[in-house]
Amino acid sequence: MRVKRGPLLVISMASCLCFTVMLSCSKTPNPFSDPENVTIDLIVPDTSAQTVYTLDTTDITIIARLPSLIDSITLTIDDEPCSVFTSIQDTVPVTVIFDDSGSIVVKATAYCEKGVIKECAKTLIVHKNPLVPPDTIYTQPLSDTSISLYWKNVRVARKYRVYRSLSVTGTFSAIKTVEDTSYLDEYLTDSTIYYYRISSIDSLNRESDLSSVFSATTFGLPASRWDHMVWDVGSWE
């Protein structure tokens, strides 16, 4: 009987050993500590509807999963470094400045622990209003020394530069930069034609071409009050 029970005991020990090995092999590593599980994504404005930007900037959001395993994130635009983030959160909002219309590639690269690198790239189509000068300038002489100018707003413009000349074909010199869509030109000469052109300036201080030429003539000198006085000779003593 003992000879028969011996092999049963051996088989039982082997089964325990196999079960232990199976438990050891089936132990799953913590997914929240593995940098391979880091993911990174970009949210860019939807340009499928041909969005026209009136500003030079737009917002982009970087979304990182398991940010605690990320050492830093770099953001590049058309392979040019834009920003570096070393304090990583689940979402990182950034503001991108673009110079002109067209397409730009925005890429986020996450440098993680153990040398793991994760990337995400998306294309942003920029439909930006062109920087143009005002198409119409309204001029109105107010006196013998002043002329009022006003014009329609240009959506991209943040400032305007007023140019003036004494000849329609002469050199136009900048006389004032304003943020409004009007300007009062003062200290002028009476009975004189002044010619004006205006340019638009955007938030990056880029200047448009000059507008068409518009003109106005200051009034003549006011007549002397003596010319309009009627004397009553009979009242003289």
pLDDT for res 19: 47
194-227 per-position pLDDT tens digit: 999 999 998 778 899 999 999 999 999 875 544 4
* Concatenated DSSP letters of 87-154: S--SEEEEEEE--SSEEEEEEEEEEEGGG-EEEEEEEEEEEEPP----S-EEEEE-SSS-EEEEEPPP
pLDDT for res 223: 58
| Max Cα-Cα span within the chain | 167
The top-level CATH class assigned to 137-217 is mainly beta
75-105 per-position pLDDT tens digit: 999 888 889 999 899 999 988 887 777 888 9
4-27 average pLDDT score: 46
How does residue 61 score in pLDDT terms, banded at 50, 70 and 90? very high
How does residue 50 score in pLDDT terms, banded at 50, 70 and 90? low
Between CA 126 and CA 22 the distance in angstroms is: 57
pTM of the model: 0.53
pLDDT for res 49: 61
Q: Is the pLDDT of residue 231 over 60?
A: no
pLDDT for res 176: 97
Buried b / exposed e over 134-168, threshold 16 CB at 10 Å, is beebebebeeebebbbebeebebbeebbbbbbeee
Q: Is the pLDDT of residue 20 over 60?
A: no
Sign of CA dihedral 167, 172, 175, 177: positive
Q: What is the mean pLDDT of the chain?
A: 83
8-33 average pLDDT score: 56
> Which position has the token pair 């009987």?
1
8 Å CB contact between 74 and 84: yes
- Residues forming CATH 2.60.40.10 domain(s) in the chain: 34-128, 137-217
The CATH number of the domain covering residues in 34-128: 2.60.40.10
Q: Which of 28-37, 64-73, 169-178, 215-224 has the lowest mean pLDDT?
A: 215-224
